[in-house]
Structure 1
Amino acid sequence: MAKKKKKLVVELDLPKDDKTLKNLYIILFFSIIIGLSSGIMWATNSGFIPTTNGEPMFTNIYCGATSSDEAGNSYQDEFNSAQKPSYKANESCAILRDSPDQLTWSEQPWVDFQSKGKTFDVPGISAEDKIGVVVEQPLEMTCDVLANQPTEYTAAIRDSDGNTIRFFNGTTGKSSDVCLIEIENIDPGENYQVVFFSAQEGQELSSAEFEITVDYYDGIPANMNNKSFWLGPKVELGPFDFRPTIFLNFFGLTFFFLIYPASFYWERVEKKKNEVEEKFPDFLRDMAEYWKGGLSMTVAVQTLAKSEYGALNDEVKKMSDQLSWGIKFSDVIKQFSERVGTPLVKRAITLIAEADRAGGKISDILVTAANDSREIKFLEGERRRAIGSYIAVIWTSYFVFLGVITLLGRIFIPAIAKSNSGDEGSGDSGGANIGNMTIRSIDPLFFVTVFYYGVTMQAIGNGSMAGLMANGRFSAGFKHSGMMIIAALIAFNLLVFNPELIGDSAYEITKSITTSKASYTVGLNPSGGAFIPTPMKWG
């Protein structure tokens, strides 16, 4: 019976091209593309590049290329002209469509009355502005009316002339009495009336309370603010409402993508090399011990390939395989030096290769190289520990600066802006008086913008300085800069970029919504006092 031939398995772990630089170039390519795209998005939405119609270049280009009416006619001319685009043109563009905001007026109970009323306003877009566009603003009023005995009553919404728009007749005390008034569309205007009447002479209503809700359109696109700056879609995250694509974010993201991804990748590469260098002195020391024991370098390396050297394991295994193929020891260690590529390893390997070529006592050279490498790594560790405290100071100072700026943007600026909006009659430009000092009206968004640009540039400067101190290169600190930029993005988006400061739709701080044709006061603005309404008119 013939003997079975044994299979000979040869592991050909041949040296491969180092992909480190290739990966770095790929990361740099995509980082630069994304970073420049973010920069263009910021520049074309921030007013940095002026346009003839005052609208952001981004919306002019996008809407000019995509908007059209029902017949397919383009609105490109409106977005390229010197005048602001019409409301109809905005509605034809997907990113400039208006969405309704909601206002609610909850009134405390009115007590013991025969008839009573209050006036309120309805904001919205004038008829001239919305030509060619159907805009409906529904109103809903729920009410609860009580009396000491079943009493017929009337609740009604009337216009400023007292003409009845909608009414509800009910009887107190009945289970079927559900007081509800719904108006499919209520036009913008002032001095609308909400009134209640007791239909029975001499019988008072003991209590009446109601809630009015109006969905209104302010003419401001849902993705824009009231100064034509890009805000983007709103995202709700628990108790926080924020706009992740607000134009200011792209300023920080520009620098983040340009400097952080490549820096982070290179930091990982350096960390891996450092782990190899940490085990390198132990490897040299063990080789020296085996050499002193009478083993050849080939046998020593092949034996050490079965030991544990952490990040150096793969490299020792490669060296063992190469020696088993008959490659000279001097060539093997040179290839190892090229693969690792650090000055410390190259220095030690050059020394060992020269000793091996000269035929000297290589064990002493190995011990010397091991001690030299260990001392260098020890000194590097000491330097990192010493510099670590300075880097901690840089981070601490940045967070202190970020905290102060966040508090100013969150508390101080809104307080000043609100006080200004309440004193418009005190001067031509409004303002608030503090002692003998008058603080003129301010633009909250301007200060928020300056604050955000400031913390972003501070992040780049602080991070670069940290890298210079740690490694002697500004680029080494870009990873710190990137993380600081992210910290600023999170802080500003969650705490500072609140609706009042960024001009998100029509908030009380802006006092009014202005379109090209008319201006309406923001809010339902119920009258401070009640009045006795005139009898019902059916106009």
Structure 2
Amino acid sequence: MAAGQQSRPFEPAIIKDEKGRGLYRLSERLAKLPEARAACRLPDSLRLRRRTRSFYPDLWLVDQAKRRGRLILKELPVYLDFITLMIEGGLNLTGAMQVAVDKGPPGPLRNEFSVMIRDLRAGTSKTDIFRRFGERVPLPEVRSLVSALIQSEDRGGDLGPALRAQAEQRREERFLRAEKMALEAPVKLLAPLLAFIFPITFLMLAFVIYMKFLQEGGF
């Protein structure tokens, strides 16, 4: 660039006429003004609302995932009992899962076993099916079940004893979770008692004492 020649601002190649270039340079200058930047800035309330809206779906998804996990852990012993009884009665794994799906309670675990039945009928190996089941349901109890089933399948053993042991273990864990929730209930009830019940009780007692004091001519 020659000395003394001023550098011109970047102009889009699509603007070919001089009037268009002038309007483009004018819009650039206006955009650099503090008033223009302040006008383009979103209000704090609107930004907070957008952040809240983007944060709420994440909370909803986390809550739904936890609810799904609780339902699966609640239904798992029942389905394992069904499958164990059918396998010990002479059915193969596909037939046992189909009976469990037909007779078991509706829920997310029923859908998962339906997916496993579809994969078994499609010719997928049992090891891959068990592994996919553990990936879809990332719970420690389900991972323990998947590990036991994969080990039994790799060793060529019968799935009946492994499923029965897993059913008993899952049932004991469900009982322990229920016992833990029962022990935590008094602690969770303490906050509502302090916030709502105790103040109302004190107000009622204070009102009775005040009325009795008035009847006796205390004032």
1:275 matched residue in structure 2: 71
What is the one-letter code of the residue matched to 1:381?
A: A
What is the one-letter code of the residue matched to 2:88?
A: K
1:292 matched residue in structure 2: 88
* Distance across 1 between alignment mates of 2:139 and 2:39: 54
2:187 matched residue in structure 1: 390
- 1:371/1:308 Cα in 2 relative to 1: closer, same or farther (>3 Å)? same
* Distance across 1 between alignment mates of 2:57 and 2:191: 21
Shift of 1:284: 1.3
Deviation per residue, 1:204-249 (Å, 9 max, x gap):
xxxxxxxxxxxxxxxxxxxxxxxxxxxxxxxxxxxxxxxxx9xxxx
Decide which structure has greater strand share: 1
Q: Is the 8 A contact 1:355 1:362 kept in 2?
A: yes
Candidates 143, 147, 157, aligned match of 1:360:
157
* Distance across 2 between alignment mates of 1:289 and 1:390: 41
Aligned to 2:103, what secondary structure does the other structure show?
coil
Deviation per residue, 1:484-522 (Å, 9 max, x gap):
xxxxxxxxxxxxxxxxxxxxxxxxxxxxxxxxxxxxxxx
Identity fraction in percent:
22
Candidates 130, 148, 151, aligned match of 1:333:
130
Shift of 1:361: 3.3
Deviation per residue, 1:107-166 (Å, 9 max, x gap):
xxxxxxxxxxxxxxxxxxxxxxxxxxxxxxxxxxxxxxxxxxxxxxxxxxxxxxxxxxxx
Q: Is the 8 A contact 2:78 2:104 kept in 1?
A: no
Shift of 1:394: 2.5
Shift of 1:356: 1.8
Q: Is the 8 A contact 2:84 2:160 kept in 1?
A: yes
Candidates 90, 97, 104, aligned match of 1:301:
97
RMSD: 3.6
Q: Is the 8 A contact 1:337 1:345 kept in 2?
A: yes
* Distance across 2 between alignment mates of 1:393 and 1:256: 31
Structure 1: any 5+ residue segments left out of the alignment? 1-60, 67-244, 246-250, 405-539
What is the one-letter code of the residue matched to 1:383?
A: K
* Distance across 1 between alignment mates of 2:88 and 2:104: 21
Aligned to 2:63, what secondary structure does the other structure show?
helix
Shift of 1:280: 1.0
TM-score by length of 2: 0.60
Aligned to 2:102, what secondary structure does the other structure show?
coil
- 1:295/1:65 Cα in 2 relative to 1: closer, same or farther (>3 Å)? closer
Shift of 1:303: 3.3
Q: Is the 8 A contact 1:279 1:310 kept in 2?
A: no
* Distance across 2 between alignment mates of 1:259 and 1:383: 31
Decide which structure has greater helix share: 2
Aligned to 1:363, what secondary structure does the other structure show?
helix
Q: Is the 8 A contact 2:79 2:104 kept in 1?
A: no
What is the one-letter code of the residue matched to 2:83?
A: M
Shift of 1:396: 3.7
Shift of 1:348: 1.3
What is the one-letter code of the residue matched to 2:188?
A: I
Shift of 1:262: 3.9
Aligned residues: 159
Instruction: Provide runs of 4+ in structure 1 moved above 3 Å.
Output: 255-265, 395-401
* Distance across 1 between alignment mates of 2:105 and 2:127: 21
